[in-house]
Amino acid sequence: MPEDRDWEAYKVPPTRTPVSERITSVPNPVTFIQTVFNYVIDAPVTFVREWIERQQAKNKFYYYHQKFRRVPDLSECLEGDYLCFFEAEAQWRRDRMVDQEIVEIIRERLGACKQREGPNQFQNCAKEMEQLAQVTKAYQDRYGDLGVHGNARTCLMKQKHRMMEERKAQASASQ
């Protein structure tokens, strides 16, 4: 943009004549109403809201980091204690979802390692492959063959049958 402007081409518009303020002995009712509103309504509400925010800042609640207390396992519930059955089932479902996420995270780590290492993936990603094998085996041992409608009771029965088979294998191996 050129430094020498043509002031004749771009004239400044004429300023308007300022309106003189009226000076009276009666105060303006708008400022009086605003002041009353600020002291009677706004100040107490603001004080209460800030106090509540300070209390909430002391006790932060992160809904995405909710921690549930551990409830008794289904094997520890008394006969006919339906509330315990329900809580154990909910606990089992949460544990299953956590275990699914663990398997998925390990799988994603292995995929990232393979992508990063390229042709050297077999020697450089051996630790991740071994970890994925361990995690998937543990998941399969616990939740495999339960299907979509698996629940805590069938999982407990599967665990019981697996333990009985291991005892039989140990007994036959020791004889």
Q: Residue 7 pLDDT > 90, yes or no?
A: no
Question: For the residues 111-126, what does the mean pLDDT come to?
Answer: 92
Domain range for 145 is 82-174
Question: Is 92 buried (19+), middle (13-18) or exposed (0-12) by CB count in 10 A?
Answer: buried
| Domains held by the chain: number | 2
User: Which of 142, 27, 35 has the alpha carbon at shortest distance from 96?
Assistant: 142
Mean pLDDT of the chain: 87
For 72-82, write each residue's pLDDT tens digit. 888 899 999 99
* Listed residues 63, 91, 113: the one ending a domain: 63
Six token digits for residue 156 = 């407990």
Q: Which helix (H) or strand (E) holds 144?
A: none
pLDDT digits (tens, 9 = 90+) for 34-75: 999 999 999 999 999 999 999 888 887 776 777 778 888 888
> Does residue 122 sit in the same domain as residue 163?
yes
State pLDDT tens for residues 12-29.
776 776 666 777 777 788
Is residue 105 domain-shared with residue 148, that is, in the same domain? yes
User: 99 and 142: one domain?
Assistant: yes
d(CA 170, CA 168): 5
Say whether both 117 and 163 belong to one domain: yes
CA distance 166 to 41: 74
Domain co-membership, 52 together with 87: no
Spell out the residues 6+ positions from residue 153 whose beta carbon is closer than 8 angstroms to its own. 74
At residue 52, the 3 state secondary structure works out as helix
Please determine, for residue 1, whether its predicted confidence score (pLDDT) is greater than 70: no
Same domain? 53 vs 91: no
53 and 116 fall within a common domain: no
Tokens 């990232």 — which residue? 112
Q: What is the pLDDT of residue 5?
A: 66
Q: Are residues 40 and 102 in the same domain?
A: no
